[in-house]
Amino acid sequence: MLRIGMLTSGGDCQALNAAMRGVVKGICSKRSDVEIYGFKDGYKGLIYANFDMLTSKDFSGILTRGGTILGTSRQPFKLMRVPDKDGLDKVEAMKHTYHKLNLDCLVILGGNGTHKTANMLREEGLNILTLPKTIDNDLWGTEMTFGFQSAVDIATDTIDRIHTTATSHSRVFIIEVMGHKVGHVTLHAGIAGGADIILLPEIPYDIDIITDMIQKRSAAGKAFTILAVAEGAISKEDAGLKKKEYKEKLAKRKYPSIAYELAEQIQQKTDKEVRITVPGHTQRGGSPCAYDRVFSTRVGAAAAELILKGDYGYMIAMRKGETVKVPLQDVAGKLKTVDPGCSLIRQAKMIGISFGDEVLE
């Protein structure tokens, strides 16, 4: 008998179901003696032994379904070693559930925080395989994560729609795209949607460079300006603060998010009308795009291959168009950020997109 536990953890995204379907179909095509334990709401289900026994039928017809059939939750890694309100040792509880059910392995679908805990469970002796999930595409060790392309498509569609209304009004439009720590989604959607200015957490901006560009566009007869702004976009001034000082400043910020702060500054400095659009969680919702369906099916099937061989301790990654296994200890705790010197940024600047950091020639 092959006993597999499965859980989805952290923020959801498109193609979680498609990835689990890939794992289960891959295994069940080769073996019939399989038990699947679906833990509910992420690590919580493993801690409190809250699970459903599932069959291959439960994974049929879910390729295109958004969300996760298992549910998910955020369980911060830094609190994993802190007992719960009843004094329960969470790590010991997870190990207990795993051993009690006599699992052969645990398949974990998640992003950065999830991988820290997955690696800790590996160090504690459990057989772990992970799949790279997150719209942010910020997992180290893989060129791609599922959810990313779907989110880019949605954010791009939002910018496209703003474009048509922008042409009718002499306004500045700010679209705030998801990504607190990294700007991959904003960068790609911004370029795909033809944004004039793209602001990322990795490239601190100068507000005067932004407002000068808006004024220059106006003077050149371009009535509107579109900004694609990541949730975590930061000014040069704020980037110079110590982490603690910046956190304190954010806590006192009178605006709900960066887009509102920028809107007020732009309005004051340019006297232009500014409008804000925040697509928010729509970026994580709905069906996965075709790319994510294929990608998640591939990593799911690749995980099935490893399970059938009993080869554990890896994240399935995508490198140069191929699925590869990357040791979990290499992935955990590392972030893949946008490299400000990368060719994509250079090329965007070449065609006149401003990142708010320097005056373009």
39 class by beta-carbon count within 10 Å (0-12 exposed, 13-18 middle, 19+ buried)? buried
288 binds ligand F6P (CB under 6 A): no
139 binds ligand F6P (CB under 6 A): no
To ligand F6P, the closest distance from the beta carbon of 237 in angstroms equals 22
154 binds ligand F6P (CB under 6 A): no
Hey, how many other C-beta atoms are within 10 angstroms of the C-beta on 280? 13
To ligand F6P, the closest distance from the beta carbon of 155 in angstroms equals 11
72 binds ligand F6P (CB under 6 A): no
- Of 179-198, binders to ligand F6P (CB under 6 A) are 179-180
User: Which residue lies nearer to ligand F6P by CB, 101 or 229?
Assistant: 229
From 130-138, 161-169, 267-275, 320-328, give the range in contact with ligand F6P by CB under 6 A.
130-138
153 binds ligand F6P (CB under 6 A): no
To ligand F6P, the closest distance from the beta carbon of 166 in angstroms equals 24
Provide the token pair at 200.
Answer: 């990322």
To ligand F6P, the closest distance from the beta carbon of 117 in angstroms equals 15
Element (H, E) at 303: helix 290-309
Report the residue count for the chain.
361
Among 284, 298, 325, 336, interactor with ligand F6P by CB under 6 A = 284
How many residues touch ligand F6P (CB under 6 A)? Answer: 11
Residue 41 annotated as catalytic:
no
Hey, how many other C-beta atoms are within 10 angstroms of the C-beta on 292? 26
SS3 339: coil
135 binds ligand F6P (CB under 6 A): yes
To ligand F6P, the closest distance from the beta carbon of 230 in angstroms equals 9
Rounded Cα distance, 189 and 226, in Å: 12
Q: In b/e form, how buried is each residue of 79-106, taking b as 16+ CB within 10 angstroms?
A: ebeeeeeeeeebbebbbebbeebebbbb
**What secondary structure does DSSP assign to 69-81, as a single string?**
TT------GGGTT
- Choosing from 12, 89, 104, 136, the catalytic residue is 136
Identify each DSSP E strand in the chain by its residue range: 2-8, 34-39, 51-54, 105-110, 128-134, 146-147, 171-177, 197-199, 225-230, 273-277, 314-319, 322-327
From 91-99, 129-137, 198-206, 215-223, give the range in contact with ligand F6P by CB under 6 A.
129-137
- 3-state SS of the chain: helix, strand, coil percent to 5? 40, 20, 40
Among 134, 142, 158, 225, interactor with ligand F6P by CB under 6 A = 134
231 binds ligand F6P (CB under 6 A): yes
278 binds ligand F6P (CB under 6 A): no
Active site positions, annotated: 136
Residues that bind ligand F6P (CB under 6 A): 11, 74, 111, 134-136, 178-180, 231, 284
